[in-house]
Chain A
Amino acid sequence: MMTTDIELLILMGGIVLILAIAHGISRGLRSKLNPTGHSTFYENLMARIYAWWAMIIVVGAALLLGKIGTVIIFAAISFQALREFLTITPTRGGDHRALCWSFFFILPAQYLALALELEVMSWIFIPVYAFMFIPIRAALAEDTTDFLGRAARTQWGLMLCVYFVSHGPALLLIEIPDYEGENMKLLLFMILIVQLSDVLQYVWGKSIGKTPISEKLSPNKTVEGLIGGIATTSLIGTLLWWATPFSPLAAGIISLVLCIMGFLGGLVMSAIKRDRGIKDFGTLIPGHGGVMDRIDSLCLAAPVFYRIVIFYYAA
C-alpha cells in the first residue's frame, strides 16, 4: 500500500469483526446444535467459517503486499484451481505437453502480463493465443481420440481457473478518475459481495427455504434462499458504496449483478461436478472441498465486474 487508506481499513476491520461475531455465535450454538458432535449442519457451518478465516488471511496478505503480491497470490490460487480441475478432467497422453505448457507457461505468462501492466495482453492471451496453442500442441502429438473434447476441457480449465480468476488482480490496473491508488477496495468489495451472497443464500435457505431451484444440480439451493440472499447482499452492497467509485444506486445494481453471476457460476461448477460424478473438486482442506469449490462463484462474477468497471468508470 502506498498510503494508508482509512476506508480500506474500515472495510477490512468490519469484515474481521463480523466473522469474529459469526464465529462466536456458531461456537455458542454448539451445545444446542451439536450436543452429540455429529451434526452435519454444525460441522458444515464451522467448516465454512474456517474457510472464510483462511480467505481473510489470503486477502489481508494481498492488501499488505500491494499489486505484485496480489498478482502472485492469485497466480497461486489459479495454479491450485487448475490442478484440481485437470485432476478430475480426463485427458490423454497426447495432452501431456499441452498441459505442461498450460501450467508452466500460459498460467505464469497471464499473471506476468498483469504484473507488467500489459492490460490488452491479459485480455487476449488465453482466449486467443492459448485457444490456438492447445489444439495445435495436441495435434502435433498425433493423438486424435476425443480430440475436440480434450482440447475443449483444457481450454475450459484455463478459462475458468486462470483467465477468469486473473480478473481479480486485473482490477488493480484500472485507472479510475478520483480513485487512484484505491483499487484494492474494488477487489475487496467484489470478493465480499460474492462471498456474502453465498453465505446469505445459505442462511436464508436454511431458515425459510422450501422450493429447490434445481433438484438435479444443487438440491441445497432454494428459491427462498436465492431471493433472500441476493436481496440482503444487494442492500449491503448499496450501503458500502462509499468504499467504491460507484453511486449508492450503482453499487446496489452492481452488487445485484455480482450476486446473480456468483449464483450462475456456482451452478455451472455444480454441473461440471455432476458431469464428472464428484461432490467436491479437491481435498486440499479436509471436509471443505478444494480451492475450486471455494472460488466457484467468483469465477464468472469477476470478469463481469471487471468489464462493468472498465466500461463505466475507467478513465
Chain B
Amino acid sequence: MEQALAEGASLIIFPEGTRSLSGEIGEFKSGIHHLASANKELPFVPIYLENLFRILPKGERFPLPLVAMLYFGEPIYLKEHETRDDFLERARNALANLSTNESKNA
C-alpha cells in the first residue's frame, strides 16, 4: 500500500474491514492509522456510501436496484501527538457526520 501511495496513487480503504450487519457504522480497524503514521501529509477523505446496507445486506445474493449516493467529506490528517484511538474515533465521526447530513437532506 505504501508503495502504491509513493507512486502517487490514491487508495480506497474500507476501514471497518467488513460489512455492517446492522446498518450502523462499525468500529474502524487500525490500518488507516498505520498509513497515517507512516505519512503525516497523507489526506484521508471520508466517503459515506448511502443505502448499501439496503441494497445488498450481508448474506443476501440478489442486490436491490435502489439508488446509492456517495457523500464526500473534508479530508482529515493525523495530528501531532494524536493517539491511535483518537484518530480512529475522529475518522469514524467524520464518516458518521456525513451520514447524518445525508439523512437530513434525504
Contacts and interface: CB of A to CB of B under 8 A. Distances in A.
Interface of A: 79, 83-84, 86-88, 91, 93, 96-97, 99-100, 103-104, 276-278, 282-283
A100 B54 CA distance: 11
Chain A at the B interface: SS class: helix
A104 B63 CA distance: 11
B8 interface: no
A83 B66 CA distance: 5
A287 to B, nearest CB: 15
B66 A86 contact: yes
B-side binding surface: helix, strand, loop or mixed? loop
Contacts of B53: 93
A278 B53 CA distance: 21
B6 to A, nearest CB: 37
A87 B62 contact: no
Interface in B60-106: 60, 62, 64-67, 104-106
B64 A100 contact: yes
B48 to A, nearest CB: 15
A37 to B, nearest CB: 25
Interface string B10-45: 000000000000010000000000000000000000
Contacts of A79: 65
Contacts of B54: 91, 93, 96
